[in-house]
Amino acid sequence: MTDIDIIEEINAERNFFIAVNSKKKGKRKDEVYALSQYISMSADKARRVIDQIRGRSYEETLMILELMPYRACYPIFKLIYSAAANASHNKRLSKADLVITKAEVNKGTTMKKLKPRARGRSYMIKRPTCHITIVVRDMSYYGEYRDFVRNLSENDRKKVFDGDYRLI
């Protein structure tokens, strides 16, 4: 292989990497999300569970959620399962390669009811709601790209990346 062939091959890989990561209208091509709104629980209670699963793989997350003793686990479990189904059906991604890259809980509206009490009084009952967003990303391509760049010689990396190859 000549130097020109190596540079063309690396540029093709790099262009594909840039195309995958391009932010057109705020959406990445390798990310899939699922959103659940108006879940009847406090945002703080849901955040306690979400903080445990952020950044973990799909399979590890399912195991963690099945074993955690919190009531917030079941709606989050269903949401992660839905995000993985969206990824496999809509984008043809493998569930084994999915990683939860973004998981956030936002406060929703509060449902208010009046409970009758003695002597004609009433007390306010507040039922908080929350919105949960889960974003999963396919990480298989990133590992292949890193391995490809690492297998290049030092000179080839310098020719293509002009000193920026350590960022990858």
User: Do 84 and 95 contact (CB within 8 A), yes or no?
Assistant: yes
Q: What is the pLDDT of residues 21-76, one digit of tens each?
A: 555 544 667 789 899 999 999 999 999 999 999 888 899 999 999 999 999 999 99
Is residue 36 in a domain?
yes
**Into how many domains does the chain fold?**
1
H and E: helices and strands count for the chain: 6, 3
Is residue 148 in a domain?
no
pTM over 0.85: no
Report the pLDDT averaged over residues 89-118: 91
Sheet of 98-116: strand order equals 31-39, 122-138, 98-116
Domain range for 109 is: 28-139
pLDDT of residue 91: 87
Q: 167 pLDDT band (50/70/90 cuts)? A: very low
Q: What is the pLDDT of residues 75-96, one digit of tens each?
A: 999 999 999 999 999 888 888 8
Say how many C-beta atoms besides its own lie within 10 A of residue 73's C-beta.
18
Is residue 10 in a domain?
no
The pLDDT > 70 percentage for the chain reads: 72
pLDDT of residue 138: 87
DSSP-assigned letter for residue 167: G
- In angstroms, the CA 97 to CA 136 distance is 10
Report the chain's C-alpha Rg in angstroms. Answer: 23
Residue with tokens 């839905």: 82
CATH of the domain at 98: 3.90.470.10
Is residue 131 in a domain?
yes
